Amino acid sequence: MMFVGRACGRCHLFFLPTRRCGYCRNITLANCSTQRYWLGACRAVPVDISSSNWSLFQSIKMEFNETGFPVPTDEYLKPTPYFDFDNPAVADFTAKAVEGATTDKEKAVKAFYAVRDSIRYDPYRITDRAGAYKASDVLETGAAYCIPKASLLTAVTRAAGIPTAIGLSDVTNHMCTDRMRNAMGGKDLFMHHGYAVMLIDGKWVKAAPAFNIELCDKFDVTPTEFDGVEDALLQEFDKKGRKHMEYIATHGIWSDLPFERVYDDFTEYYGAELWERCREAVAQNERRQAANFEDEKPVT
């Protein structure tokens, strides 16, 4: 299945043309992810192609597999607005991450561990800013939640010549913190958990680089390990045999990140307040200069 993206004339964010105009009700269009208004031919806003944001989001083609795995094509090797391995910082990170590896499996394993442990997992980094999901932005920030970390791993393995997609699934988190649960409106379902889906030696393999080793030690969870052969998703149980994570539903495998879908689903499920709660949590952490997620006390 192929989607072709457009960009909002005001905020220039990318979205999928899956809706109808709220004004005339008869023109296929898309929802602006920032302004929350409907764009249609009846009142479309011209896109400013001179905008610095425009080059990120213009004319995006996206392949989507709701079930099963994709047919490998060049779409899974190209840089995209989110998997921007043509960015010098991402290219440099990739070169260092896979140094010494000679096979796709070795490159994938090295890339996985580089992303897992170089980028601190921070669920409060959930954001409605599309640019935060770019691989280059993740490197610059040094902290992210699962989707941006999956974006970075996807970019790195593509740069290493491995066809890679991004997968999204819902997971139940049986071990959380009070603060995080409050930010999520009391919910313990994590929507759109992100992971990379790599084609290694003719087989599609999933790997979730979300939890860095320091966080796993804090929460008494065995770190996710990846051998380039078997799927490496989050663990079902912690070190004490308690339920940790469960995969509940899948949202398919994509050739680029479907940001607008993630935005809409998060807003609908967690409430529009999610974005401000997470922004405030990050601001509080920065003011305290210490409050990393792994420093919080887990709820068991």
pLDDT of residue 123: 86
The answer on 202 and 271 residing in a single domain is yes
Cα 13 to Cα 131: distance, rounded to the nearest angstrom: 9
The answer on 50 and 21 residing in a single domain is yes
pLDDT of residue 31: 42
Q: Please report whether residue 300 resides in a domain.
A: no
pLDDT of residue 134: 95
pLDDT of residue 66: 77
Q: Point out the domain boundary residue: 59, 77, 109.
A: 59
Q: Which strands form 245-254's sheet, in the order they lie side by side? A: 2-4, 61-65, 245-254, 164-173, 189-200, 203-207
Q: Residue 171: which CATH number? A: 3.10.620.30
Q: Point out the domain boundary residue: 59, 81, 102.
A: 59
In this structure, what token pair is assigned to residue 117? Answer: 């442990």
pLDDT of residue 47: 33
Q: Point out the domain boundary residue: 37, 59, 81.
A: 59
pTM: 0.76
175, with CB counted inside 10 A (0-12, 13-18, 19+), is middle
Q: Please report whether residue 146 resides in a domain.
A: yes
- The residue type at 237: F
The answer on 236 and 148 residing in a single domain is yes
pLDDT of residue 28: 36
Domain limits at 24?
A: 1-59
Q: Do residues 211 and 224 touch, judged by C-beta distance below 8 A?
A: yes
The answer on 111 and 35 residing in a single domain is no
Could you tell me the mean pLDDT of each successive run of 10 residues in the chain, 300 residues long? 41 40 36 36 33 40 79 93 95 98 98 95 89 95 95 98 96 75 85 96 94 73 89 72 74 90 89 91 80 60
The answer on 170 and 24 residing in a single domain is no
The answer on 268 and 181 residing in a single domain is yes
Looking at the structure of the chain, the number of domains it has is 2
The answer on 136 and 31 residing in a single domain is no
Q: Which of 193, 199, 197 is nearest to 207 (CA)?
A: 197
Helix axes 146-159, 104-118, angle to 10 degrees: 150
167, with CB counted inside 10 A (0-12, 13-18, 19+), is buried
Q: Do residues 208 and 221 touch, judged by C-beta distance below 8 A?
A: no
The answer on 55 and 3 residing in a single domain is yes
